[in-house]
A and B are shown apart, each in its own frame.
Chain A
Amino acid sequence: MPVPAYSFLLLSGVLFTMGAVGFLVRRNPLVVFMCIELMLNAVNLAFVAISRYLNSLDGVIFAFLVITVAAAEVVVGIAIIVQVYRAGRPMDVDDLDLMKE
């Protein structure tokens, strides 16, 4: 019995939500960043699954691009986080509130 397409979408949705929740609840910027990766991975799962079930290659390529871009983003993101770290600020996104109302 083949796995129905929607089960991959559901799994993807759950993983996406977990990533989003992690983003909301975690305060270490590195962990928050990891949660973004989790969300992107969830999206990739959806892309690949759809690609498989629709017999098209677009999703795979899209996922490939996402992986690449995510890597680039991580590089930049880590660089920024390191900057903040170098400035001696605590590793807590909630403490980064020099700018607020």
Chain B
Amino acid sequence: METLAPFVLLSPLAGFLVNALFGRLLPRRVVGWIGAGSVGIGFIFSLNLLLQLLTGAHSLDQTYFTWWQSGDFSVPFNLYVDRLSTLMILVITGVGFLIHVYSIGYMREDPGYSRFFAYMNLFVFSMLLLVLSGNLIWLIIGWAAVGLSSYLLIGFWFERPTAVLAARKAFVMNTIGDVGMVFAAFLIFLNLRVLDFQGLFSRVHQLPKGGGVITAICLLLLVGAVAKSAQLPLHTWLPDAMEGPTPVSALIHAATMVTAGVYLVARMHMLYDWAPAAAATVAVIGGVTALFAATIGTSQVDIKRILAYSTMSQIGYMFLAVGIGAYAAGMFHFMTHAFFKALLFMAAGNVIHAFHDDQDIRNMGNLRAGLPITFWTFLIGTLSISGFPLFAGFFSKDEIIRAALSAPGTEFWLGVVALVTAGLTAYYMFRLFFIAFGWEWLSHDERHLHEALPVQTVPIVILAAGAVVGGYIPVASFLTPVFGHAVDVGTGAFIGLAALSVLVALIGFLAAYLLHARRPDLAVVWRTRLGPIHALVEHKYYIDELYDRLFVRPGVALARFLNDIVEPRVIDGAVNGVANFFLLEAREFRLIQTGRVSSYALWTLGGAIGVVVVVAAFLGYLPVRLGG
């Protein structure tokens, strides 16, 4: 069945190429609308795909050309469209489009305008390729392209040394993930002789369930997922990635990159179902990361960093969900998260612009008056992420917590972790809200802040709408053909658990209100009282420093050792030693040439004696017998 899937891809690719090649020649308005429009067109094509799927097709798989063919190693370039990928591309292109539109306003004064849009389109294209790819190789290609795009965008302001470093860090971390993915592909191919998804899914049951191979495959895939989704322990790039322009953060965090890991696990759910240990690992990583990132989020003062840790935390939820098999819940949360996180970032972008690129929340305030639209939409986003009832985040998060708590065994504890995290989420989000947007929002402030342009606010408003009503989209049932039916929970339990999570969120909210709005002095007291713990959390558990000591510095030291000692002294030293040996010998032998006739004759006579000796040896007159 013919699909329009390639056009979903080609549209942003065309945008990328046009802006990359001719962007500097085009007027800014044109550049911006090409950038945004290409993604928008991609969204329209995605809608077409959605329509096709809703009208009966189960999945669409079309091969366009052969990438490599030798022996039984055959890799096509095929696009695989099912409801999972359709959901993904809808969010990517939809939310992506809004972010692009927002960027038209946000980046309007930046000299690298066309470059920015080219990168953004490349980003969207890469993500779409990742999602639509029907085989592992092209998924990896898209996967790496996403990493590249993020590298480009994080290092967009390449004059800043911090941005350059952050970009490199992101890339190297992602490369670690890529290598994991590649190794997973090796194991899959060598055991199942197949790399395209349909073949893979049909053959995966040839492997013993829970066996070493399938577990190794899933764990290696997980390495990729963890790196891309900034989960523990490969998460350190994500906060640094805030060096990029804010729309980039929105794109990375909301619609594209970091959710790729979730998508990967969901896409490979047949494998993870077949490898329970690996799936459990996914869940544990997700749960731990969720809590871990949330705790860090409570102590940061950079607005974008707080949002970054919140993303880590929310992705942790999604990992938790897909890890325990609640794939639909994970994807549901992915969607709602896309709405409110994009919203939060873009609103934060407006705030940062308003404060002339100051990102410290302690310097902010008086935003309701200055930036009313931003203020209200940000509040909606905060409520949604904190899981307040009837907002989108409430439904999706609740489904995850419910799935975890209702599962047997250790997963129950993961549910508890998720619950605690929900409370923390409410706490740090409202802490941010109270400090940055100002509890004193009722009072007036001398600062004259300006609301952003409509081109920036309109997308935020649209997303705010999504953040409110997104929870009513029946994602779970939409995805049923992919994942099968979700675990059914009784109404009573549903209400009970919902009440519980609301309660937890409320506690978080109240704590934030108490410490950062009502009694800021208490916050100070508690901070000193919790001194070491606070320092630990504020320094992100010193993991960056740990990695620096464990990997970076030893690596560089090793390199220097090789360069300064091993290469010149040992390896080249051996080579030169041999050469010097010959030279030395030569000088020794040279000395026999004395210039004196008698010594020359002595050599001749010596040679003659040698001849006689050899003759004697041949004839057996010497102990050493030569010849026959």
Contact = CB atoms under 8 A, between A and B. Distances in A.
Interface of A: 20, 23-25, 27, 32, 93-94, 96-101
Given A101-B590, A101-B591, A20 B605 contact: yes
Contact of B598 (A94, A99, A100): A94
A93 B598 contact: yes
Contact of A24 (B590, B591, B598): B598
Contact of A99 (B591, B595, B602): B595
B601 A24 contact: yes
A97 B602 CA distance: 16
B596 interface: yes
B594 interface: yes
B598 A25 contact: yes
B596 A94 contact: yes
B595 A97 contact: yes
B443 interface: no
A45 B113 CA distance: 109
Given A23-B598, A97-B595, A100-B594, 11 more contacts: A20-B601, A20-B605, A23-B601, A24-B601, A24-B602, A24-B605, A32-B597, A94-B598, A98-B595, A101-B593, A101-B595
A94 B594 CA distance: 9
9 contacts: A24-B598, A24-B605, A32-B597, A93-B597, A96-B595, A98-B595, A99-B595, A101-B593, A101-B594
Contacts, number: 33
Interface string B574-604: 0000000000000000110111111001100
Contacts of B590: 101
Nearest to A29: B597
B125 to A, nearest CB: 75
A32 B600 CA distance: 13
B118 to A, nearest CB: 72
A80 to B, nearest CB: 13
Nearest to B608: A20
Contacts of B597: 32, 93-94, 96
Nearest to A98: B595
Contacts of B591: 101
A56 B349 CA distance: 121
A39 B228 CA distance: 95
Contact of A93 (B593, B596, B602, B605): B596
A94 B598 CA distance: 7
Contacts of A96: 595, 597
B587 to A, nearest CB: 9
Interface string B325-341: 00000000000000000
Nearest to B597: A93
A100 B593 contact: yes
Contacts of A20: 601, 605
Contacts of A94: 596-598
Max count, chain B CB within 10 A of own CB: residue among A20, A24, A25, A93 = A24
6 A-B pairs closest in CB distance: A100-B595, A97-B595, A101-B593, A93-B597, A101-B590, A94-B596
Nearest to B590: A101
A97 B599 CA distance: 12
A97 B601 contact: no
A73 B598 CA distance: 19
A97 B594 contact: yes
Nearest to A32: B597
Nearest to A27: B598
Contacts of B598: 23-25, 27, 93-94
